[in-house]
Chains A and B, each alone.
Chain A
Amino acid sequence: MILSVLRSRLKYKKLTIKYPAGSPPELSERFTGRALLSGGSCRGCDGKCISACPAGAISRKGDEIILDTGRCIFCRKCENICPEERIKFTGDFRTASSVREDLLLESPSEKSFEIKKSRISSLIIKSFSIRVVSAGGCGACEADTNVLSTIGWDLSRFGIHFTASPRHADALLLIGPVTDNMKSAVLDTYNAIPDPKCVIAVGSCAVSGGIYRDGEKNLNGAGDILPVDLYIPGCPPHPLTILDALLRFTGRMK
C-alpha cells in the first residue's frame, strides 16, 4: 500500500509556486487586473461608463470621472464602452491597498497602491494567524482564499495560517458585504480576537458592498462596522493578489 503512495508521489516534483523568490505564476492573457485611467477628456460623452457599470463604481466629477476600484467587479464593461478608450485594465494583479481612498482612481492616474506594513507587523514576524469569516460571500472569495493553503501556494511557508479559534488569531479576514444576519456574529468574532488585531477585507463586497452595495439586507462591507487595515478588491481577487497583499502587509515582502 505505502509503496503505491510513494510511487504516485515520485511522479511529481515540488508543486509550490516559486513566488515571491521567483517570478509569479503566469496568468491568463484575459486576466483583469488593476485599472488605469489615461489622459484625455470626458467632455462630449454622456457618461456611458457610469450607466454601464453594474457596481456603480464610476462617478462624475466635473469633466472627469472617478473609478472606485474598491467597488469594481472587473467586468470590463466600462473599458469596452468608453469612446475615448480612457479606461484600461492591465494584467497587474496588485489591486490591494491599505488606504481605502487610494482605490479611487481620478483621471489621469497611474498611482500605485500602497500597502503599509501592518501596525502590528513587529509582533507578527514569525507567525501570523488569520480567522476568516464569510458574511454574505458567494463562495468564490472563500475558495480563492482557501486555495492559498494548498500545496500550490503553501501559505504556511511564510508563517501565515488560517486558524479555527479567534483567540489564536492576529487578524480577522472578512468576506462578503456583511449581511444583516451575520452582523452580530462578525462583531462577536472580532471581539473574541485579542488585541492588538487587524482587519482584512477580501473581495469587492467586503471592501465596499460590491454589487450588493446599498442592498436592503446587507451593509456596505467590513468598513461599516470595523476598522479595516487592508483592502483586497476583486470579484473574487486572484489568489496571487491575496498572497501578494498579505506578504506586503505582514512585512514579508516589500
Chain B
Amino acid sequence: MDNYITCGNGEAIDTENIPVVSEDIFRSFLESEIKNSRNHLSALFASGDWGSKKIFGVISDSSESVLKVSSFVPGEKYQTFTDISPRTHLFEREIFETHRILPSGHRWLKPVRFPDGGIGEMFFFSDKGDEIHEVGVGPVHAGVIEPGHFRFQCYGEIVRHLEISLGYQHRGIEKKLKDVSPDKRIHLIETASGDATAAHSIAYCRVVEGLSSCVVPSYSSAVRAAALELERIACHIGDIGALSGDVGFLPTSSLCGKLRGDVLNLTALICGNRFSRNLVLPGGVGFDINGEIRDRILESLERIRISAEDTIALLFNTPSVLSRFEGTGFVSMETAFDFGLTGPSARGSGIKRDVRCDFSDGIYRDRKVPVSVCSSGDVLGRALVRRLETEKSFRFVKELLESLPEKVSSSDIITSSPPLSKGRVSFSLTEGWRGEVVHIGMTDSEGNLADYKITDPSFSNWPALSYAMRGEGISDFPLCNKSFNLSYCGFDL
C-alpha cells in the first residue's frame, strides 16, 4: 500500500481510502515531500472521534498538480514535526488547542486563538539583556483595522524579535459551520475573511461541489473568476496605495484609495454588494453578468486601469520611495519556503507558485494567468508582484468578459445547496489575493458535514512578518506590515 493517496484540486475521495500509516512513516512522508521545492504543506489537521482521532497531512505538489494526503493515529501525543519544517509549528499548536493532542518537543506551545479564554494573560518570548526594552501594541490599534497584539523586543530602535499574538477575532466559524443548515453555511464562509469573500466562497463551493459530485457550468465558473480577479485588483491597488501612504508619498496613496473603491463598485454592479456577497453559491452563481453590466464593467475597468497603471508607475519611478522599499523587511527565499508562505508574500521572495496556474480549476484551465515573481524578498518585491498581478488581472477580466456568453442557462443561477455524499472528503485550493485559500470538508456516514477546515493565507503568512521585522527599525513596522497586509479574522476564524 502506498503511504499516501493523490487527488486533484476540488476532487472528493472516500475518507477510508486515505492511508493510515504509522507515525514514523507519516514523518518520513512529510520529510521527503516537504524537501521538494515544488511542494507545499497546505494543511495539517486533526479529525475524528475522541480516541480514534487522526492527523491528516495534505501536500500540494505543483509539478504534478496533485494533492498528496496521508494520515496517522497519534493517540494522546506524537513527536513534533517542527524539526522537519517550521511550517508545521502553527498547525501543531492549532491541533493541540482544538484536539488536545500533544506534539512532544514542540518549543512554543502557546494557544493560537484562545477559544477557552485567557487572552491577554499570555506569556511572550522575552529577550535578555539590560538594554533590551519591550514594546506592546494592541489589540486595539491606531487605525481602522482589526485587533491583534504585537510584542516587540527592541535594542534601541532595532527590533530583535516580534511576537504576534492573535485570536481576538475568533468567532468559531469552523464549528458553527457544522451546526447551521447547509444553505446558511455560505454566509458564514463569506465572512471568514470579508475582504476575500470571493476567494473563500469559491473555495467552499468547490468543496461542496466535490462532495456532491456537482459540475459547475462554465458560465458560472467565468463569473466566479471575474469576481475573484476584481477582488484581487481592488485589494492590490489598495495595498499599493497604503504602502505609498506609509512612506509619505501621497499622490499615489490618494488616488489608489479612490480607485480601489471604483473596482469594488464593479463587483457591486454584478451582485449589488461591494464584497461579492451572495454571488458565489454551491453549484453556480447567484447573479449573471448580462450584456449591459458587462459593457459597463469593461468601460469602467479600462478607465480605472489607465489611472491605476499611471499612478503606480509614478510610485515606482520615485527614487525616495524606492529607497524606502528596497531592502526593507527582507525575507529570503529559503525562509519563505521553510515557513510555507503563499501568495504575493511568497512570490515576492522568488517562489514561483500560484494556484491559478499550478492547480488550475474551472475557467483557469483554459485561460492561464502567468505567475508574477520577484526575487528581492523585500517590501519592493512584494509591491512589485502586486503591480504585475494587477496588470495581468486587468487583462484577464477584460478578455474574460469580452468572450463571456450573454445567455445564461437556468442551471447557472442557484438557489439551494446540493446534498452531500457520504463518508467522503474534498480538498480545494483557491488563489485569493493574499494567497492560497485551503478548504477541506468531510462528511460522516449520514452525509452530514463532520468536519470543516479552513486555512487562510494569513495563517501561513503571519509568521513571516515577525521574521521580516528582525533587525529592522521599529518605525518600519507599518511599512513591513502593509507589504504583507494580512487578515486577522481569516487567521482567527
Provide the bound-state CA to CA distance between A181 and B187, in Å: 22
A180 within 8 Å of B (CB atoms): yes
Select which of A15, A136, A151 is within 8 A of B169 by beta carbon: A136
Residues of A within 8 A of B275 (CB): 140, 143, 236
A145 within 8 Å of B (CB atoms): yes
Q: Which residue of B lies closest to A33 (CB)?
A: B272
Residues of B within 8 A of A75 (CB): 187, 277-278
Contact B169 A179 (CB under 8 A): yes
Chain A residues 1-15 with CB under 8 Å of chain B are 1, 4-5, 8-9, 11-12, 15
Chain B residues 126-168 with CB under 8 Å of chain A are 139-140, 142-147, 167-168
Most chain B CB neighbours (cut-off 10 Å) among A73, A141, A181, A216: A181
Chain A residues 37-87 with CB under 8 Å of chain B are 52, 54-55, 73-76, 80
Most chain B CB neighbours (cut-off 10 Å) among A12, A54, A135, A189: A54
B368 within 8 Å of A (CB atoms): no
Residues of B within 8 A of A52 (CB): 183
Contact with B along A106-149 (1 / 0, CB 8 A): 00000000000000000000000000111111111111111101
Given known contacts A1-B318, A30-B268, A52-B183, A145 and B258 CB-to-CB distance under 8 angstroms = no
Given known contacts A139-B487, A216-B175, A152 and B258 CB-to-CB distance under 8 angstroms = yes
Contact B147 A133 (CB under 8 A): yes
Given known contacts A139-B487, A215-B176, A30 and B192 CB-to-CB distance under 8 angstroms = no
Provide the bound-state CA to CA distance between A188 and B257, in Å: 31
Contact A179 B168 (CB under 8 A): yes
Residues of B within 8 A of A55 (CB): 187
Provide the bound-state CA to CA distance between A143 and B202, in Å: 21
Chain B residues 259-318 with CB under 8 Å of chain A are 260-262, 265, 268-275, 277-278, 287, 307, 310-311, 314, 317-318
Contact A134 B273 (CB under 8 A): no
Contact A182 B261 (CB under 8 A): no
B371 within 8 Å of A (CB atoms): no
Contact A30 B258 (CB under 8 A): no
Given known contacts A75-B278, A151-B257, A185-B147, A138 and B193 CB-to-CB distance under 8 angstroms = yes
Given known contacts A179-B171, A235-B277, A137 and B269 CB-to-CB distance under 8 angstroms = no
Provide the bound-state CA to CA distance between A176 and B144, in Å: 13
Q: Which residue of A lies closest to B145 (CB)?
A: A142
A220 within 8 Å of B (CB atoms): no
Contact A151 B277 (CB under 8 A): no
Provide the bound-state CA to CA distance between A52 and B187, in Å: 12
Given known contacts A180-B117, A181-B168, A138 and B489 CB-to-CB distance under 8 angstroms = yes
In whole Å, how far is B356's beta carbon from the nearest beta carbon of chain A? 22
Contact A28 B191 (CB under 8 A): no
Residues of B within 8 A of A27 (CB): 268
In whole Å, how far is A237's beta carbon from the nearest beta carbon of chain B? 10
Provide the bound-state CA to CA distance between A189 and B254, in Å: 29
Contact A32 B489 (CB under 8 A): no
Provide the bound-state CA to CA distance between A176 and B145, in Å: 12
In whole Å, how far is A172's beta carbon from the nearest beta carbon of chain B? 10
Provide the bound-state CA to CA distance between A43 and B33, in Å: 62
B197 within 8 Å of A (CB atoms): yes
Task: Say which size band chain B's interface belongs to.
Answer: 35 or more
A31 within 8 Å of B (CB atoms): yes
Chain B residues 387-443 with CB under 8 Å of chain A are 415
Residues of B within 8 A of A15 (CB): 255, 258
In whole Å, how far is A48's beta carbon from the nearest beta carbon of chain B? 12
Provide the bound-state CA to CA distance between A179 and B115, in Å: 10
A191 within 8 Å of B (CB atoms): no
Contact with B along A169-184 (1 / 0, CB 8 A): 0000000110111101
Contact B278 A181 (CB under 8 A): no
Q: Which residue of B lies closest to A152 (CB)?
A: B258
In whole Å, how far is A27's beta carbon from the nearest beta carbon of chain B? 7
In whole Å, how far is B187's beta carbon from the nearest beta carbon of chain A? 4
B195 within 8 Å of A (CB atoms): yes
Provide the bound-state CA to CA distance between A5 and B244, in Å: 13
Contact A32 B146 (CB under 8 A): no
Contact with B along A212-254 (1 / 0, CB 8 A): 1001111000000000000000011011000000000000000
Provide the bound-state CA to CA distance between A64 and B170, in Å: 37
A35 within 8 Å of B (CB atoms): no
Given known contacts A8-B310, A15-B258, A164 and B187 CB-to-CB distance under 8 angstroms = no
Chain A residues 161-218 with CB under 8 Å of chain B are 162, 164, 176-177, 179-182, 184-185, 188-189, 211-212, 215-218
Chain B residues 231-263 with CB under 8 Å of chain A are 251, 254-255, 257-258, 260-262
Residues of A within 8 A of B167 (CB): 181
Provide the bound-state CA to CA distance between A67 and B269, in Å: 26
Provide the bound-state CA to CA distance between A80 and B287, in Å: 13
Provide the bound-state CA to CA distance between A239 and B115, in Å: 32
13 A-B pairs with C-beta separation under 8 A: A1-B319, A29-B269, A134-B144, A134-B145, A137-B194, A139-B195, A144-B274, A146-B143, A151-B254, A176-B169, A182-B147, A218-B171, A239-B261
Q: Which 5 A-B pairs have the closest CB atoms?
A: A138-B194, A30-B272, A140-B194, A150-B257, A164-B142
Known: A73-B187, A134-B169, A149-B144. 5 other contacts (CB 8 A): A8-B314, A74-B277, A137-B169, A138-B192, A141-B194
Q: Identify the B interface with A (CB < 8 A).
A: 113-115, 117, 119-120, 139-140, 142-147, 167-172, 175-176, 180, 183-184, 187-188, 190-195, 197, 251, 254-255, 257-258, 260-262, 265, 268-275, 277-278, 287, 307, 310-311, 314, 317-319, 415, 487-490
